[in-house]
Structures are given as structure tokens and as C-alpha cells.
Amino acid sequence: MNSDLQTFRLKLDKIDRSIMGFLAERCEIARLIGEHKRAQEISVEDPNRESVMRQERKRFASEHGLDFDFVEAVFSLLIQESKHLQL
């Protein structure tokens, strides 16, 4: 195998491990948010928060040359999982 290709793959593997670590941390925080919302009798759904987050993702995607549809798809899954964990 080409050594450059192997190097790139190793870098991707390292990034993927970091992403997984951040996902685990995000899930734990979502669970804590769920506990707080239940204790305060706050709805899991927060359309205003989601709207603000969507605008921030759109700006970030544009600034970093990322496809917004891709970014939106990833974050839609993250939000869906966060809501599930908050129930």
C-alpha cells in the first residue's frame, strides 16, 4: 500500500476516534440536560434553540467550505439522538 495513503488513513482513524470521544461526551451532556429538563418540567423540544443552532451551522459550513446539506444531516442525527436521550 502507498505510504501516503496509509498516513492519510491513520490520520482519519485518529480523527474518527476523537469524533467518537466527542460523541460520547455529547451524549452524556444530553442525558444531564434531560434530567434537568425533567426536574424543571421543561419540554425536550426547543424550536428556538434548534433554529439558532441551524443558523450557526449554516454560517460555520459556509466559512469552512463544507456542504450545508451534509452538515445539516449530521446535526439532525445528533439532535434526534439528544432528544431521545433526554426522554
For residues 77 and 26, give the distance between their C-alpha atoms in angstroms, rounded to a whole number.
12
* Grid cell for residue 86: 433526554
Number of domains in the chain: 1
Percent of the chain with pLDDT over 90: 99
- List own/partner pairs for 28-33 with CB under 8 A and 24 or more apart: 30/81, 30/82, 30/85, 30/86, 31/85, 31/86, 33/82, 33/86
Q: What is the pLDDT of residues 20-40, one digit of tens each?
A: 999 999 999 999 999 999 999
Percent of the chain with pLDDT over 70: 99
- Report pLDDT for 12: 99
CATH at 40: 1.20.59.10
- Report pLDDT for 31: 99
Phi-psi region of 27 (alpha: psi -120 to 50; beta: other; left: phi over 0): alpha
